[in-house]
Amino acid sequence: MKLFMKYQTIVFFFSSLATILIISGCHNVSEKVNPIDPPNILILMSDNHSADHLGCYGDPSVKTPHIDRLASEGVLFSNAFCAAPSCSPARAAMLTGQDIWRLGTAANLWSGFPKMDVYPQMMEENGYHVGIQGKGWGPGDAQPDGWTDNPGGKRYGSFEEFYNEKESNQPWLFWYSSRDPHRPFRSEGWNKSGIDLESIEVPPYLPNHIDVKKDMADYYHEVQLFDQDVANYLALLDEMGETENTMVIVCSDNGWQMPRGLANLYDFGSKIPLIVWWPKQIEGNRKIDDFVNLNDLAPTFLELANIEAPSEMTAKSLKGLLFENKEGTIDPSRNFVVTGRERHAYVRSNGLGYPGRALRTEDFLYIRNYEPDRWPAGDPPLYGDVDSHMLHYPAPTKLHLLVHKENPSVEPLFELSFGKRPFEELYDLKKDPYQLVNVAGLDGYAEIKNNLSHQLTEYLITTNDPREINQSFTWDTDTYFKEGDKRPKPSQEAIELLDLEEEYDYTTDNSNATSEN
């Protein structure tokens, strides 16, 4: 036993050393410019918005001219991901610059937020005027953990209100969190969007049906509204004379609220748009293919503000990439990203989550599902981790899949979104960019799977993931602050279409956890 423990210690040391070298490798990248004055920082964040759904990212249907302009004059990251495909943990990870499994209860949706270093507070303590508009961190309740304001900063009703409180020549940090394109979508958005339904390319994991196209057009309409928000903020910067020394970040918190999107470790849940615009300082019209994480914003902002980043941060500053007059792959060590999830909504008996970790490279996506016996989309018949979690507001795509799940053309798509999944998933992205065919069990991929599994484990051990270092955790039993979710009440339409009960109870064991009916 002592010999085995000694062997484990040696393996852990060298695994940790290898991953630390990978994590720190980006600091060798040379910088083009080193700004003297700390910049103003404006974050414009959409809500539940996948990377592919902007004109500058190649979507032919949605019209986003203002964001597209920022991309053409700034830096577009083609491989940007969030830490978790869920609002609260993705935002907590961004604020702390840490992976979600290091954040205690903040790894969950509708969670608390243990007191720890967050870049807004650190920047405020170093002279910045800091504020948010909209969600900031959330949903959840940080007050029981000792926060007096949102962990993202003091909330304001508008940018003008925030700006009027700053001192002369004081640098500022402002985070605007749009509600768009979060569900429920505005009624008849598809009809108001000006989008030709026939032009919409439905991804192959969803039914190619008119109801789905209208649902997507509703979503596009809200993306276009966010684009107008971006235009309004840029106009305010000009009006206030703040454009020259303001770095603007356009991003999302996680992927779109569609089946196989939000709350899933596939690209459609975790890959996000990320554009950085600062024409006076950063060379524009560049696309960077290095793998980056929303968490990387924390050490980036601190470095630009000349503030030392806490040693607890696992993220890496983007400053070297931004100020290097190059595009494509700049830092070879940024060739992967790790994401994870714990409990999203309260959608399984006794509030159980669906824990997983994923490693994404250019060629492969490897996923580890720690509890494959649980329903990944939530217990039937509501499957609440997908879209409208209680089926209490319109969710046409989800409803179409549920109503027509026995149709031969729909059944395989239903299984992709709602069926149980094995412990390991592996997708060959060159052959299967939409991640439809799990090749983890094929002999021809055994070596690749084992290598990716080992790489993921090394990273998780080095970053102290309790699921890999045999430490206790409480994610399945942590407080969930939205009590109404625990006893969901579907809409009358859903009740009639799917023969549902009027109310369900997830606070106790029930047959929903083991049966599809």
β partners of residue 291: 79
Neighbours of 441 (CB within 10 A): 12
Give yes or no for a contact between 256 and 334, defined as CB atoms under 8 angstroms apart.
Answer: no
- For residues 236 and 191, state if they share a domain: yes
The answer to whether residues 202 and 149 belong to one domain is yes
CB neighbour list of residue 98: distance below 8 Å, 6 or more residues apart: 295, 312, 313, 314, 315
Whichever domain contains 407, its CATH number is 3.30.1120.10
Helix, strand, coil percentages in the chain from 3-state DSSP, rounded to 5: 35, 15, 50
Report the CATH number at residue 239.
3.40.720.10
Please give the helix or strand (H or E) that residue 441 lies within, else none: none
Q: What is the pLDDT of residues 415-435, one digit of tens each?
A: 999 999 999 999 999 999 999
Are the C-beta atoms of 405 and 411 separated by less than 8 Å? yes
Same domain, 299 and 348: no
Domain match, 50 and 173 both: yes
| 8-state DSSP, 111 | B
Asked if the model's pLDDT at residue 11 lies above 70, the reply is no
> Tokens standing for 376?
């990944």
Same domain, 297 and 420: no
| 176 and 297 share one domain | yes
Is residue 241, in this structure, part of any structural domain at all?
yes
Q: Is residue 318 part of a domain?
A: yes
Section 351-373 average pLDDT: 98
Q: DSSP labels for 321-361?
A: HHTSS--B---TT--EEEEEE---SS-SGGG----EEEEEE
Query: Cα separation of 13 and 52, whole Å?
Result: 39
In this prediction, residues 462-489 reach a mean pLDDT of 97
Q: Using an 8 Å Cβ cutoff, are 135 and 110 in contact?
A: no
Mean pLDDT across 449-477: 98
Residue 238 burial (10 A CB sphere; 0-12, 13-18, 19+): exposed
SS3 9: helix
CA atoms of 314 and 432, how far apart (whole Å) = 30
Residue 510 has pLDDT above 70, yes or no: no
DSSP tally for the chain: helices H, then strands E:
14, 12
Q: Which amino acid is at 110?
A: W
Residue 22 belongs to a domain: no
Residue range of the domain that includes 437? 340-513
Q: What is the mean pLDDT of residues 496-510?
A: 93
- Using DSSP bridges, classify how beta strands 172-177 and 129-134 pair: parallel, antiparallel or unpaired: parallel
**Do 314 and 364 fall within a single domain?**
no
Q: Yes or no: say if 486 and 348 are a contact pair by the CB < 8 Å rule.
A: no
145 within some domain: yes
Q: d(Cα 420, Cα 82) in Å, to the nearest integer? A: 24
What b/e string do you get for 286-308 counting C-beta neighbours within 10 Å, with b at 16 or more? bebbbbbbbbbbbbbbbebbebe
pLDDT band at 36 (very low <50, low <70, confident <90, very high): low
Domain presence at residue 176: yes
Q: Could you tell me if 351 and 320 lie in one domain? A: no
Number of separate domains in the chain? 2
The answer to whether 48 and 262 have CB atoms below 8 angstroms apart is: yes
Last residue of a domain, one of 325, 356, 382: 325
pLDDT over threshold 70, residue 30: no
- Collapsed DSSP state (helix, strand, coil) of residue 40: strand
Q: What is the CA radius of gyration of the chain?
A: 22
pLDDT attached to residue 38: 93
End position of a domain, from candidates 325, 350, 384? 325
pLDDT for 37 equals 83
- Which H or E element spans position 309? none
| pLDDT at res. 35 | 59
Are 296 and 390 within one domain? no
Query: Tell me: the pLDDT tens digits for 139-182?
Result: 999 999 999 999 999 999 999 999 999 999 999 999 999 999 99
- Is the pLDDT at 21 greater than 70, yes or no? no
pLDDT score of 420: 98
Do 296 and 404 belong together in one domain?
A: no
Residue 366 and residue 489 in one domain = yes
Per residue in 221-258, pLDDT (tens digit) is: 999 999 999 999 999 999 999 999 999 999 999 999 99
Alpha-carbon distance of 466 to 104, in angstroms, equals 10
- What pLDDT sits at residue 34? 54
With cut-offs at 50, 70 and 90, classify the pLDDT of residue 187: confident
Range of lowest pLDDT (1-15, 425-439, 468-482)? 1-15
CB contact burial 114-126 (16+ within 10 A = b; e otherwise): bebbbbbbbbbee
The model's pTM is 0.92
The domain boundary, picked from 270, 292, 325, lies at 325
Q: What is the residue-wise DSSP string for 125-182?
A: HTT-EEEEEE-SS-SB--GGGT-SSBTTBEE-S-HHHHHTTSPTT--EEEEEE--TTP
Residues 432 and 494 placed together within one structural domain of the fold: yes
Is 332 within the bounds of a domain?
no
Let me know if residue 239 belongs to a domain: yes
- What pLDDT, in 10s, does the model give residues 272-307? 999 999 999 999 999 999 999 999 999 999 999 999
